[in-house]
Structure formats: C-alpha cells, structure tokens
Amino acid sequence: MILRVDPSQALPVYEQIRQQVTRMAVTGTLAPGTRLPTIRQLAADLGLAKGTVAKAYELLELSAVVESKGHKGTFVRDLGPAPGASAGEVADGLREAAEAFVVAARQLGADLDQTHAALDDAWRLL
Amino acid sequence: MAMGWAIGSVLAVVAGASLLAGVWSADRSERAGRTGRWGRVLVLRGYPLLIVVIGLGVLFVVPASVVEGEGGWSGSNIVSVLVAIVVTLLGAFALFVLGRNLAGHDPDAGRIAARLSGDEPSRLLLTRWLQRVRWRRWLGGFLGVLSALLLSVDGSGPNIVLSGFAGIMLGSLSAELHHWRRPDGGGARAADLTRRRLSDYTSPGEQWLLGAAAMGAVILAATDLAGTTAHTTDRGPGWPWAGTALGVVAGVVAMQWRIVTRRRPALPPELRRADDLARRLAVSRGMAQPGLALALALLAEASTRVGLGLVAAVCWLLAVGVWLGTRRLGLDKLLSAPPANAAPEPAGA
C-alpha cells in the first residue's frame, strides 16, 4: 500500500495522510487488523517530522479509523463490511486523476507515447 | 651498519611507492568500472602473503643478526642479499595490496552482489553497500590494531585483538551513519505502508546471543562491584569493562533499529528486495556479529580482571569464532554459491 504526500500542496501533510489512510481503510484496501508502520518509520520514509505523522495517527484514532494498542502498534479498525469502491466511484476517481495528469503532461509538451511511458513507469514504481 | 641503513632506505622508498601505486591502481579500476584477475588475486591473497612476508622477514633477520654479531655486514653473504631482495619484492607486493585496500577497493563486491541480486540497479545498490562497509571495517580494524601497537611500545598498551574488534565495530558503525542525513526537502514523496520490524532482518539466535552477552555483562559487573570475586592482579576492576560490553550491546541494538527504520521511499519490487537484503546484511553481519565479537572480548577482559580465567578463555574463543565468521562480512563463501535468483528471500520482503 503506497502513501503519497506533497508538502507543496495547500492541504496540510498530516491531513493528506489521514485522508489516504481513511480511504484505504473504508474501501477495504487496508484490511481490518492491518498494523500500520511506526511513527518513526513512516516519518523517515516520507522525510517528514515525527510530529506530523503522530498528528495524522492521532486524527485517525479520533475518527475511529485506527486504534492504538500501546507498544504493539497502531491497527486498522474493523469498520464493518468493507463496501469497496463501486465501479462508478472508481471510474470517476480515475477520470479526475487522469484529467489532471493529462493537463500536466500537455503543459510539459509531452506526447501520448511519453505520457503512456510515464504512466507505466509510475505504475511499476508504486 | 651502513648496509642496514641502505636496505632500510630502499625498503622505505619501495613501501611508499607501492602504497601510492596501490591507491592509484584501485582508483583507476574504479573509474574504469572493471576489476581484473590481478586485482582479485592481489586482494584475496593479501593476508596469506603478509604471513609469508613476515615469515621470510624472520628468516632474514635471524641470519643477518648472526652475521652482524660476527663482525658486521660483509656484503658477501649472498643468501642474505637474495632473501633481502625477495623480502623487498614481497613486501612491496603486500603493500600494494594494502594500498588497494586503503583506497576502498573491493574487487569481490561486484561478484558477490551479482549472486545476491538479479537486476542491474539492485546489483549497483548492493555493490555500493559492500564496498563501503567492507573497506571501512577493514580500515577500522587496521587502525585499531595499529593504535594498540603504537600504544604498546612501553608494554602497557591495550589488547591488540580487542582494539582490532573495536576498530571493526566503529568501521561498521561509520558505514551506516550517512543515513542520518536529512532527506532533501520539498517535492512529493511516496512510501510503502508495510511495517518493518527488527525480527524481519535478523535471526533470533543472534539476538539471543546479544541478550546473553548483555546478561553476562550485568552479572560480571554486579559481582565485581559487590566484591564477591577475587582480584587476581593489579590490572584494575572488571566492572568498567563489563559496563562497556553492556554499552556495546545496547548501542548495537539501537543501531539495528535505526537501520530497520531508516528512510525508504516507495521502490519497485526488485529494488525493494535488494534494499531488504542490504538492511538484513547490515543488521546481522554489519552490526550484530562484530558487536557480539567486541562485547565478548570485553567480557573476556572483565573476566580476567575479576579472576575468572575459564570464563575469560571461553569468551575469547567465542569472540574469535564470531569474528572469523564475519571477517569479510561472511560473504566470501557466496562466491561459490548459486547466483542471483537462488539467494534467500529476506523475511521482510
């Protein structure tokens, strides 16, 4: 499961983390009981301050998406039957993301082949 | 006597030139991205060669001293001159090897990495790690032994083996410290949400041995401080050595955790496997084993000071045994192992 944050966005980084983890937990991509990485590990991996990740975890716990079990770690809660994302929701989300990607590619002057290649590379990487 | 000075001067010049040639040669091989057969032979045969040089040196010094005792250098002792030439050449050869090592050249790194990993980026990652760690360990051990030798001139210096182990440990440590640099700021970044644990990268046996060494250190320090053991010599108390051993174990475990949780952005699967393997090697062969060797050597020193000779002997044997297993990160045997895809999968991958 990949988490991606962009500090240059207007949305605070801890909120980006909270939203993405919530989305994955709600859709069942993150199964109930999954143990999240430690604050130190995720902060190091994303190059963030520990406090930023700690705040995201705190918000996730407050919204009952995850639960902390002390030294054992932080686990994804059972949010009931995972509805998964419906086909329509997936299609809408992908369309929105693709439009943003294509706009950026055209602004950079990339052609369709280059854009496809970039998409393939990102798919393999992430 | 004049002949002795002349030979000494020639040896010094040859030694200096050999060291420079070794450094230059290693640098050239690195730049060219290739390692020739001679490069491998030079480094692989380096240590046995040094033993040969020392042996021949003894053979040379003994007859020479006899000749000097009988009236000085006559210049007609052909055997001595021949031996001197052979020793000079072999010494130059050994110093050439030393120079290559000092330059950080590890001709086996590429071959070992090729057997541990499949694709090119993974091989590059492992090769870099192997070269960095192995030469720093070598340099650390060399400096440790050299320091002990220099401090032992008056016969009261530190234990050479212990000092060497400490140097190796510091070398291993320094090879991992560069990861403490903060990543470049700005820009989007991605990471995997998979949790990494220390147990994914180390064996229970190693951690158990580290725990046992720590327990031994506590017991030794406690018994020494409680005065329940007899001080056999005037070498001082044993508890500072036991305490240092405990500190070494604690430092090793802390560093192991550092290595496990240090930064890893989202990576393609092949590179992630190579990164896992590098971490596993760093945690186990880079930290646990040299740390264990050093802790055991410290415990041996502590045991000697509190009059537990048998315990000291066992600790020394164990320490040397652990060191032998990790002498070159223990990877040399992999040169004859099945390549790449047969490499064991890290538990955390």
d(CA B3, CA A111): 79
More confident call, B150 vs B40: B150
pLDDT category, B105, cuts 50, 70, 90?
Answer: low
Q: Does A71 touch chain B (CB under 8 A)?
A: no
What ipTM was estimated for this complex? Answer: 0.72
CB spacing of B265 vs A45 below 8 angstroms: yes
Looking at residue B150, its pLDDT comes to: 80
Reduced to 3 states (helix: H, G, I; strand: E, B; else coil), residue A3 is strand
pTM exceeding 0.80: no
Of B183, B187, B194, the CB nearest to A37: B194
Which letter does DSSP use for residue B189 in this model?
Answer: E
Whose CA is closest to B265, among B176, B188, B175, B177? B188
Q: Does A2 touch chain B (CB under 8 A)?
A: yes
- Name the residue in chain A with its Cα closest to that of B195: A37
How far away is chain B from the Cα of A2, in angstroms, using its nearest Cα? 5
Q: Is the dihedral of CA B229, B231, B237, B241 positive or negative?
A: negative
CB spacing of A126 vs B188 below 8 angstroms: no
Tell me the per-residue pLDDT of A35-94, one tens digit each, with 9 for 90 and over: 999 999 999 899 899 999 999 999 999 999 999 988 888 999 887 765 556 677 778 878
For B278-304, give one letter per residue: b (16+ CB within 10 A) or e: bbbbbbbbbbbbbbbbbbbbbbbbbbb
Looking at residue B146, its pLDDT comes to: 81
Q: Does B196 touch chain A (CB under 8 A)?
A: yes
d(CA B197, CA B166): 27
- Name the residue in chain B with its Cα closest to that of A20: B193
The DSSP code sequence of A22-75 is HHHHHTTSS-TTPEEPPHHHHHHHHT--HHHHHHHHHHHHHTTSEEE-GGG-EE
With contacts defined as CB-CB under 8 Å, which chain A residues touch B186?
7-8
